[in-house]
Amino acid sequence: MALVLVPNLAGGGSGITQLTGPVTAGPGSGAQATTIGANQVSLPNLAQIATLTILGNNTGGTANVIELTAAQAKTLLAIAFTDISGTATVAQLPNVNIAVQVLTSGVTYTATAGTKSQIVEGWAGGGGGGGIIAAAAGQISVSGGGGSGGYFRKKYTIAGGGTGTMAIGGAGTAGANTGAVAGNGGNTTFTDGTTLCTANGGAGAPANGLGTAATAGVSLGGAGGAISTNGDVNTAGTAGGIGWRSINTGLTGQGIGGRGASSTATNGGGGIERVATGAGNNASGTQGAGGGGALALAAGAAAVGGTGAAGMIVVTEFA
């Protein structure tokens, strides 16, 4: 920045011949150009600017300094995620959940685009609840509940577009009204071609060996599925509840059809106990729970057990 200093020589004075300090001029007589030296203007001497603005030039060419808003400054700086020390792009961050697949049928899992790894959880099918023959007058017929299926949890590294092979365990069938053994739940499996995980199905309630009688007794539930294999986490299923009856000397009594075992899943409720004559209750959930046992109080009709719940696979995918 340069100014022109013109001395006022009115009255015969010789005028200023030299300026020193932040602003310099001369030496010399007559009109002299003035110069502000480098690093001489302090911040308080600058013009004030609007709140939340900074000085800059966003025109794309040489221009005078202007006040930039925060939005203009962000655009000018064009800061990327990687410009911040110690950070990375979203794609570089480990274990970012990008999708969840809930699989209740089919034989093939396909990884979502962008997937780098996944947690696979599998529940086997639950066993069916026991059926009963008709109760004679003054007698009670009762059966147990079905066992729940096992569970596994395993981390795999199937990349986006890659596939895994799976099988979903079927539901255990209800015990017939002949008192025969109920159906077992099916196994649930998953493999990436290298590691095969297996969750074992829950057992159906055993045959109604108590039949109809005027004596107290219990009817066992089906066993829980055996402990799962090859997962990072492996658990067994839970046995179904027992059915029981008690009869007093007056040939009246009480009984309960056994409860179906619940699975470890959030929505894995077993068939509830039967407290009045009728068929066993079906499993209330969808993830490997057992069906409930049937009950016939005095002179009650034959009845089937409750159906178990099928298994399921849940895949949580990460980028």
Q: What is the pLDDT of residues 129-178, one digit of tens each?
A: 999 999 888 788 999 999 999 999 999 999 999 999 999 999 999 999 99
Tokens of 308: 């178990």
Judge whether 268 lies within some domain: yes
159 and 241 fall within a common domain:
yes
For 131, other C-beta atoms within 10 Å of its C-beta total 29
Print the domain residue range for 202: 102-319
Please state the φ and ψ torsions of residue 93, each to the nearest 5 degrees. -75, 135
21 and 168 fall within a common domain:
no
**What is the per-residue pLDDT for 253?**
66
Residue 195 CA to residue 234 CA, distance in Å, equals: 14
Q: Is the peptide bond before 44 cis (omega within 30 degrees of 0)?
A: no
- Identify the segments of the chain with pLDDT beneath 70: 1-16, 81-94, 209-214, 247-253, 266-269, 286
Judge whether 200 lies within some domain: yes
Tokens of 50: 């609007």
**What is the per-residue pLDDT for 103?**
97
pLDDT, one tens digit per residue, over 76-109 is 888 776 666 665 555 555 678 899 999 999 999 9
11 and 139 fall within a common domain:
no
130 and 15 fall within a common domain:
no
Distances (CA, A) of 223 to 147, 167, 183, 284, 289: 5, 22, 12, 19, 12
251 and 155 fall within a common domain:
yes
**What is the per-residue pLDDT for 248?**
58
pTM of the model: 0.70
20 and 108 fall within a common domain:
no
Residue 288 CA to residue 229 CA, distance in Å, equals: 17
**In sequence order, which residues have a C-beta less than 8 Å from that of residue 46 and are 6 or more positions away?**
none
**What is the per-residue pLDDT for 238?**
96
**What is the per-residue pLDDT for 40?**
80
120 and 220 fall within a common domain:
yes
240 and 144 fall within a common domain:
yes
**What is the per-residue pLDDT for 95?**
72
